[in-house]
Amino acid sequence: MKKLSIFLVLLLVLVSCDSDDDNVELIGDWQLVEVLADPGDGSGTFTPVTSSKMMTFNTDGTVTSNGIMCDIVLNTNTQSNGTYSSERLFFQTDACGLPDNEYTFEINGDLLTFFVPCIEPCGARYRKL
């Protein structure tokens, strides 16, 4: 009976634990939804944008974009590509003239956020499709 009680308690704990719903899969398409361009006084915040700019993380460790992925420009007339690490959460591209520069990112829910080199804070936020 004691073993059954322990088993039921463990089963209850496993069933009641949160699932990995917050753990979004990196592989796939991400669309640009917000940018940060601080005006120089530290008051900048991420602002929603309408853009068709996408980043695609492929299973072979490559990342592609229909725009320059290492800037916050919305246009999609210049494609870029690079590599990424899902373990260390960074991508690397030579599209901005910095071949060894790593752009670290974080994922919160279905949002991927990273910052790009600017005099003032600049960043991009993409949503998983």
pLDDT digits (tens, 9 = 90+) for 96-129: 876 567 899 999 999 999 998 888 889 999 999 9
Burial class (CB in 10 A: 0-12, 13-18, 19+), 46: middle
Cβ-contact 96, 52 below 8 angstroms = no
Q: How confident is the model at residue 90 (pLDDT cuts 50, 70, 90)?
A: very high
For residue 119, what are the contacts with CB-CB under 8 A and spacing of at least 6? 40
Q: What is the pLDDT of residues 11-28, one digit of tens each?
A: 333 333 443 334 569 999
CATH 3.30.420.480 fits 26-128, yes or no: no
Q: What is the pLDDT of residues 31-73, one digit of tens each?
A: 999 999 888 888 899 999 999 999 999 999 999 999 999 889 8
Cβ-contact 69, 94 below 8 angstroms = no
Looking at residue 33, what is its pLDDT?
98
Q: Is 78 helix (H, G, I), strand (E, B) or coil?
A: coil
Looking at residue 117, what is its pLDDT?
82
- For the chain, give every domain's residue range: 26-128
